[in-house]
Structure 1
Amino acid sequence: MAFLNPAQPPLAAGAQFPPRRQARYALLVLFLGYMLAFVDRNVVSLLVVPIEHDLGLSDLQMGLLRGTAFAIFYSIFGFPIAWLVDRYNRRNIVLGGVAVWSLMTVLAGLSRSFMSFFGARVGVGAGEAAILPSATSLIADYFPPEKRGRAMGFFASGIFIGSAVALIGGGLLLERLHGQVTVLPLLGALHPWQVVLVAAGLLGLPLFLAALFVREPPRLYLHGRTMAQAAQQSVGFFETFRQHPRAFGAHFIGFTALGFASYGATSWLPTLFMREHHWSALQVGARLGLMALLLGPLGAIIGGMVADRMEKAGQRAGKLIVGATAAALTIVPAIVMGLSGSAWLTYAAAAVLTLCISLIWGVAPGALQEIAHGAVLGRVVAVYTALLNLIGLGLAPPSIALLGESIAGKNAGLGTAIAIVIPLACGVALLAFATSMGAYRQARADLKQ
């Protein structure tokens, strides 16, 4: 455990948060880490057509590679990693995660079969399981409650900037290498899609070096106690859920359903434009990348700012209200996006959906900061990310592929499936949030006491 050495000594009671410059640098590195995680996770969505061609795969197999393989092991490794997050140096856990997922992305680029690709995606999921629990815990100790919404919103905007980098950068590289086989030292002959994945994985090296300069902040919940003393005096992991099942249930159901909607809609969007509207990989990458780059971060930051304003105004369920608003606003653009026969109307609907669904990505883990004790926060976030990835990422892409194929045959029907599945998921989220505001407020009050 030398690499995972325990955190710095605790702050004395009444001590201030770490210096602003230190907090901002850490937030920037965490943001870049989350951004790179989504580059490595999402660049595959741009590569569906060439991968299916070269490896002889179906939409269902690609759904398994993009979602299920990643999500299962992201979830499995998330729990032991989160246990470490609650006890040991979180900066070092982030470093380990960056190293693992970057290496596995390179190995995905070297894959020659479905099974080797599947194994590499499992490794990407295992590595990326480190980033969200670590960042949520670190940000809770770097920023006071009234500033966490914006901090988490900025961090969460890495989802969309990473997706944009994957689409734009991947599209440009694919276009440049179109029809060429690249021979690299030690790696041999690579198709263009393989070069894209290898390049994405190598971006982890400068991030790893930058993360070495992040300082581990004191854990504010200790207040002069040792970790063992704080653990004895705080509510345990399982007792946390038993005390407030409705609050945690609403959070997990609502935000997981919205994650399902988001992954289901966006994971097949590049394929939809290429297959139904005949856009090239370069056009898809540039247009969808620009959309993600502009609207995704804007929505995540707006969601965080609105939540902070509600916090200052005394609205203790503000983060759930943001989630409910996102669910309600996503339904109509999802239907239009799936059923429209016009490429540009589909694009406009996708833009509105991107802005609306992005409101949740900062407030979802941020809401857990307000109802889970710091001694168990990492593991609570791991439960959320496990559900989000198993159900949202793991089931949404193959579910839409299966429904589309059942409606219109192999490699077809994606738009119709999106128009059916996404509104249903948003309805589930809206119901979960609307019926549990009081329970969430009570959980916050009890934790404060």
Structure 2
Amino acid sequence: MKAADYLPSESQAEEDQYPQRKTAVFACIILFLGYTLAFVDRNIVALLVVPIEHDLGLTDVEMGLLQGTAFAVFYSVFGLPIAWAVDRYNRRNIVTVGVAAWSAMTCLAGLSQGFATFFLARIGVGAGEATILPSATSLIADYFPPEARGRALGFFASGIYFGSAIALIGGGLILHRIEGRQIQIPFLGMEQPWQVVLISAGALGIPLIIATLFMREPIRRHQKNRKSNNYATQVQGLLATLKSNPKALWAHFIGFTAMAFAAYGAIGWLPTILIRQYHWTPGMVGIRLGVAALIAGPAGTYFGGFLADRLEKANRPDGKFLVGALAAICTCIPAIILGTSTHQGVTFIAAVVVIFFTSLVWGVAPAALQEIIHGSVLGRVTAIYTALLNLIALGLAAPSIALLSEWMFGKNNGLGQAIAIIVPCATFIALTAFLSGRRAYTNARQCLDKLQ
């Protein structure tokens, strides 16, 4: 597409113009890098559980709180007010501040000397990262015309997998290179390998902060009518939507959140299991698991979307729920094998299969919500869903598995067995929600079609 394709005709009003293509593409690349870095800093702790526990004297339960709960609670808490600010203030500046905040907090996590300071640092990471998704979604809508937004948003969202893979592969390479040695860092002194990994991850934010300053704040395309969009009207519209098809909404919320719970629960502790049970080094785990995630994650997401589209063409309005049900069924057995196997090859293959099938729902979930929620309240309903997803799945999966393993098998034991119990329970809940909510979901789609 040529740059001229992004420019309006002379008869159009100035406020309807889109930035030139090179400006929009540059901004999209910066936002993609921001999302990638966010997932690097979010997921890097999973690779460092064993050395952090050793040096700081922490338990699996405490590490579960650091991996998920501290991050997820404050990501959700700050998400709504940040989304409000994105609708009103300079979004480029919000992104810049967010990158600076989560990068600095990742470095501070690397300097932590105990659970409390690490917990506070992870809170800061969650608060900072809450800026990137709403800001990028809004900016891309104003940088690109409708026919180009799908590709732009798809490119931006791929940062999830690149960030997760970079966290594992890059962290693994650093750990392998400096294994068993302390490193002198200027102005900070001698640091352990896991501290070097966290400080390095945080330092990646410095060039990105500078790059964001070169982004241009585009003209907002869809300013709302503030007289008709007063607070009372917003609340009434939102509440009416939540009450109109409650079974379909709750089936969606419960089903996709339970699948996310299964994904975070199984994969979050996988590096620790491979290190403890099979004596892999953190470097080996990072490189092998990172490559597997980079391949299986995008493949699963693409297959889930492809299957949903095929079901839609086959006139199955409940197709996205059926994809969710398939993901739940196909995740259960590999998760049990992952948790109970005593052979490292079998465990690793089972983990790759779990990554693939849990990835089926990541693209399907927001698309399913779009089909039953009117556009006037879709953003707020999506915010509620995202908050539930982060609080329950990301916030509780890791610590719940740690608590069960400690209760049944003792301190720092039985993570695999806990996964083999909890993950199948989560997939059963998801399957029940999807199958029981299919008819309500179909009815909700038909109701929305009549309104539009």
Structure 2 length normalisation: TM-score? 0.85
Structure 1: runs of 5 or more not aligned? 1-10
Equivalent residue, structure 2, for 1:3: none
Distance change (3 Å), C-alpha of 1:248 and 1:437: same
CA distance in 1, matches of 2:341, 2:364: 31
Question: What is the CA-CA distance between 1:410 and the residue it aligns to?
Answer: 1.1
Structure 1 length normalisation: TM-score? 0.86
Equivalent residue, structure 2, for 1:267: 268
2:392 paired with 1:391: yes
2:332 paired with 1:331: yes
Q: How does 1:183-202 map onto structure 2 within 5 Å?
A: 183-202=184-203
Look up the SS of the partner of 1:47 in the other structure. Answer: helix
More relative contact order in 1 or in 2 (CA 8 Å, sep 6+)?
Answer: 1
Q: State the one-letter code of the partner of 2:329.
A: A
Equivalent residue, structure 2, for 1:172: 173
Equivalent residue, structure 1, for 2:109: 108
Equivalent residue, structure 1, for 2:225: 226
Equivalent residue, structure 1, for 2:299: 298
Q: How does 1:8-407 map onto structure 2 within 5 Å?
A: 27-136=28-137, 148=150, 154-211=155-212, 212-213=214-215, 216=218, 218-219=220-221, 226-229=225-228, 236-310=237-311, 315-407=316-408
Which whole-Å deviations, capped at 9, do the CAs of 1:237-284 have from their partners, x for residues lacking one? 333312232232122111111111011001100000000111111111
Which whole-Å deviations, capped at 9, do the CAs of 1:11-35 have from their partners, x for residues lacking one? 99xx899887776655544443332
CA distance in 2, matches of 1:198, 1:165: 15
Query: Percentage identity across aligned positions?
Result: 59
Which whole-Å deviations, capped at 9, do the CAs of 1:56-83 have from their partners, x for residues lacking one? 1111111111111111111211221223
Contact 1:153 1:300 in 2 (8 A): no
Which whole-Å deviations, capped at 9, do the CAs of 1:336-392 have from their partners, x for residues lacking one? 111111000011111111111112222223333444445544433332222112211
Which whole-Å deviations, capped at 9, do the CAs of 1:161-181 have from their partners, x for residues lacking one? 211111110011112122222
Structure 2: runs of 5 or more not aligned? 1-11
Question: What is the CA-CA distance between 1:313 and the residue it aligns to?
Answer: 6.1
Question: What is the CA-CA distance between 1:117 and the residue it aligns to?
Answer: 0.5
Question: What is the CA-CA distance between 1:328 and the residue it aligns to?
Answer: 1.8
CA distance in 1, matches of 2:350, 2:155: 24
Equivalent residue, structure 1, for 2:5: none
Distance change (3 Å), C-alpha of 1:84 and 1:441: farther
Distance change (3 Å), C-alpha of 1:443 and 1:154: farther
Distance change (3 Å), C-alpha of 1:24 and 1:227: farther
Q: State the one-letter code of the partner of 2:72.
A: A
Bigger shift: 274-283 or 97-106?
97-106
Look up the SS of the partner of 1:236 in the other structure. Answer: helix
Contact 2:171 2:286 in 1 (8 A): yes
Q: State the one-letter code of the partner of 2:181.
A: Q
Distance change (3 Å), C-alpha of 1:135 and 1:254: farther
Contact 1:68 1:390 in 2 (8 A): yes
Question: What is the CA-CA distance between 1:47 and the residue it aligns to?
Answer: 0.8
Q: State the one-letter code of the partner of 2:255.
A: G
Equivalent residue, structure 2, for 1:446: 448
CA RMSD of aligned residues (A): 3.1
Bigger shift: 139-148 or 421-430?
139-148
Contact 1:108 1:116 in 2 (8 A): yes
Give 1 or 2 for the bigger CA radius of gyration. Answer: 2
Question: What is the CA-CA distance between 1:186 and the residue it aligns to?
Answer: 2.6
Count how many residue pairs are aligned between Structure 1 and Structure 2.
433
Question: What is the CA-CA distance between 1:394 and the residue it aligns to?
Answer: 1.4
Bigger shift: 317-326 or 175-184?
317-326
CA distance in 1, matches of 2:429, 2:296: 24
CA distance in 2, matches of 1:275, 1:121: 24
Equivalent residue, structure 2, for 1:8: none
Q: State the one-letter code of the partner of 1:409.
A: G
Q: State the one-letter code of the partner of 1:446.
A: L
Which whole-Å deviations, capped at 9, do the CAs of 1:145-190 have from their partners, x for residues lacking one? 9985x76665444323211111110011112122222222232332
Contact 2:296 2:355 in 1 (8 A): yes
CA distance in 2, matches of 1:268, 1:288: 12
CA distance in 1, matches of 2:374, 2:219: 17
